[in-house]
């Protein structure tokens, strides 16, 4: 039996608002909205889910987002409400860590 990732799910007190932020960030769209559970798609790969959880703490799981214009993507995401956390790297692999409006960290890089 093959397993496949369907969604990366984020716990939040604001599922609709955070889903809309991520849909805009990824040029995606909201595909389902059940109030406490909202889902988006953004092209190929897994979707994202946002579920209501009271007093959530940012999780340990994060996303790596690939782009051919890291500085441009980082600038756009920060202008849209992300917080710059750090610029990091190892050997010839570099990435920028950001946090979404709920404090969930994610990384932007050019791929490997």
Same domain, 30 and 48: yes
pLDDT-wise least confident of 2-6, 77-81, 100-104: 2-6
Mean pLDDT of 76-83: 97
Give me the domain span that covers residue 92: 57-112
Same domain, 68 and 96: yes
Same domain, 50 and 80: no
Same domain, 64 and 50: no
Counting the structural domains of the chain, the total is 2
- Domain of 89, CATH number, reads 3.10.180.10
Same domain, 47 and 70: no
Residue 22 lies in a domain: yes
Q: How much of the chain exceeds pLDDT 90, in percent?
A: 79
Residue 3 lies in a domain: no
51, pLDDT greater than 90: yes
Residue 84 lies in a domain: yes
Phi, psi of 89 (to 5 degrees): 180, 165
Same domain, 97 and 67: yes
Same domain, 61 and 107: yes
19, pLDDT greater than 80: yes
Q: Please tell me the distance from the alpha carbon of residue 87 to that of residue 98, in angstroms, as a whole number.
A: 9
pLDDT bracket for residue 98 (50, 70, 90):
very high
pLDDT bracket for residue 4 (50, 70, 90):
confident
pLDDT at 58: 77
């Amino acid at each position: 039996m093959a397993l496949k990732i369907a969604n990366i799910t984020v716990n939040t007190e604001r599922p609709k608002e955070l889903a809309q932020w991520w849909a805009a960030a990824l040029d995606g769209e909201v595909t389902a909205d059940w109030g406490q559970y909202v889902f988006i798609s953004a092209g190929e790969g897994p979707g994202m889910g946002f579920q209501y959880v009271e007093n959530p703490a940012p999780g340990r799981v994060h996303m790596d987002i690939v782009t051919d214009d890291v500085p441009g993507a980082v600038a756009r995401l920060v202008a849209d409400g992300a917080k710059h956390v750090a610029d990091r790297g190892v050997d010839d692999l570099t990435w920028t860590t950001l946090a979404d409006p709920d404090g969930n960290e994610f990384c932007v890089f050019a791929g490997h």
